[in-house]
Amino acid sequence: MLNKQKEVLLLNSSYLPLNVISVQKAMLLIFNGKATIIKEVENKLIHSKQSIFPYPDVIRLNFFVRVPYKPLIPTKKAVLIRDGFCQYCGSDKHLTIDHIVPVSKGGLNTWENMVAACHSCNSRKGNRTPEEVGMRLLKEPKKPLFVVKSKTSWNEFIFKS
């Protein structure tokens, strides 16, 4: 029996993320020869009356799908999904968006200049750069290939350099 709530990352044949789909849809693509399992969920199987199948976590299409280019815009929601926790202290409570170089000092609304910050760290940093306050980022902010509230097991496919 398939749980429709579980999600599978769908990659194009070029390994670029396309979408997040249900396990049921993923199994249909696999059974019809349209996709291949790239990564399985460890210690989890799908049982049918006649067979046992690996539980997919990431699948890849066996053919290339042309997708119209749509720029990834760094919205507040997208930055919070990308980071998941305060990039200064690691807290996941009361998250806001911080511009590393403040807008008042010429900072732009870019993926590389926006990070998640808890209210406390954002207030402490204020209208200054992290260096001016003696704060350090936990990780360098990068533009993701795909924005989705992801499972950690998908990071290698979503956050390629």
Q: Are 116 and 91 a contacting pair, CB within 8 Å?
A: no
Q: Read off the pTM.
A: 0.63
pLDDT digits (tens, 9 = 90+) for 71-118: 889 999 899 988 999 999 999 999 999 999 999 999 999 999 999 999
Q: Is pLDDT above 90 for 58?
A: yes
Cα distance between residue 105 and residue 40, in whole Å: 47
pLDDT-derived band at 4 (thresholds 50, 70, 90) equals very low
pLDDT-derived band at 3 (thresholds 50, 70, 90) equals very low
Q: So what's the pLDDT on residue 152?
A: 65
CA 3 to chain centre: 22
What are the residue ranges spanned by the domains of the chain?
Answer: 7-61, 76-133
For the domain made up of 76-133, give the CATH fold: DNA Binding (I), subunit A (1.10.30)
